[in-house]
């Protein structure tokens, strides 16, 4: 019981707000992780983890049978689920990928706005643990395990200030990374024409053009970014 009490005390603890300058410097660091190509090549795996996790979560909630998730070294991924090939369940499953990082970022900003920085990190750890059991390839296992190890190290060993800075960094990275992946999606579609992207699959299901769905992804990412900024008092 003492261990459980100590754990709950850690999880439910609230952190004091960071100085505004520290927050902005941390956001700038997150922007560099997204905008600098060598950094993005590595950190984009984090966005892919959330993207595929979003597909898997919504597929399961929609009654589809989740068969596994694969993450690849080129930062692509694949979530396989079994169910009706058409209908709302399939549409929402496809919608979930590109919107998941932005929505998670907005949820993270909400937790930060209430001082639950450490609670956010524990929630991320729990989500990564649930995702790990659905991974079906070695690179995916390694990718999720390393990500979880980094989050755990900060969560367990970091000071409250380090935890808060890391939580802001993750939140800003998710929000900015969500926007970049949508832009990359449209660039790839423009170069290749029709493809098997989420937007093109949605186009075939709904008879609405692929660019419409790209715009939907971008609108969600933009709205989440603005909403998060307001929650954190940045605008």
Q: What tens digit of pLDDT does each residue of 169-189 get?
A: 999 999 999 999 999 999 988
Average pLDDT taken over every residue of the chain = 94
In this structure, are residues 37 and 55 in contact, taking their beta carbons and an 8 Å threshold? no
In this structure, are residues 189 and 195 in contact, taking their beta carbons and an 8 Å threshold? yes
pLDDT of residue 1: 66
3-state secondary structure of 63: coil
Q: How confident is the model at residue 31 (pLDDT cuts 50, 70, 90)?
A: very high
As a residue count, the chain comes to 235
Q: Is residue 232's pLDDT more than 90? A: yes
* Rounded-to-5 percentages of helix, strand, coil across the chain: 75, 5, 20
83: Cα within 13 Å, side-chain hemisphere:
22
- Give the DSSP H or E segment for 1: none
**Residue 186: count of CB within 10 angstroms of its CB:** 17
In this structure, are residues 104 and 50 in contact, taking their beta carbons and an 8 Å threshold? yes
Q: Between residues 84 and 162, which one has the greater pLDDT?
A: 162
pLDDT of residue 12: 78
Q: Phi and psi for 47 in degrees, rounded to 5? A: -65, -40
pLDDT of residue 192: 74
Query: Which residue from 220, 231, 234 is spatially nearest to 102, judged by alpha carbons?
Result: 220
- Give the DSSP H or E segment for 75: none
Task: Extract the tokens encoding 220.
Answer: 């969600």
Q: How far apart are CA 175 and CA 197, in angstroms?
A: 21
Q: Tens of pLDDT along 185-215?
A: 999 888 876 578 999 999 999 989 999 999 9
Mean local confidence (pLDDT), 31-60 = 97
Q: How far apart are CA 103 and CA 174, in angstroms?
A: 9
Widest Cα–Cα separation across the chain = 60
């Amino acid at each position: 019981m003492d261990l459980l009490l100590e754990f709950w005390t850690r999880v439910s603890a609230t952190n004091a707000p960071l100085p505004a300058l520290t927050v902005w410097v941390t956001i700038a660091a997150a922007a560099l992780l997204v905008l600098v190509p060598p950094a993005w090549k590595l950190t984009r795996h984090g966005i892919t983890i959330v993207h595929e996790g979003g597909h898997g979560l919504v597929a399961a909630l929609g009654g589809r049978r989740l068969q596994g998730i694969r993450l690849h070294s080129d930062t692509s991924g694949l979530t396989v689920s079994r169910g009706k090939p058409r209908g709302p369940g399939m549409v929402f499953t496809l919608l979930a990928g590109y919107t998941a990082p932005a929505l998670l970022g907005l949820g993270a900003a909400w937790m930060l706005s209430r001082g639950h920085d450490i609670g956010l990190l524990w929630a991320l750890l729990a989500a990564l643990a649930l995702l790990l059991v659905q991974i079906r390839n070695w690179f995916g296992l390694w990718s999720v395990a390393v990500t979880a190890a980094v989050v755990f190290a900060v969560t367990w060993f970091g000071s409250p200030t380090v935890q808060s800075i890391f939580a802001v960094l993750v939140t800003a990275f998710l929000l900015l990374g969500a926007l970049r992946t949508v832009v990359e999606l449209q660039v790839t579609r423009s170069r290749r024409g029709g493809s098997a992207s989420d937007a093109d699959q949605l186009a075939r299901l709904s008879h609405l053009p692929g660019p419409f769905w790209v715009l939907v992804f971008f609108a969600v990412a933009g709205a989440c970014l603005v909403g998060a900024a307001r929650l954190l008092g940045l605008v």
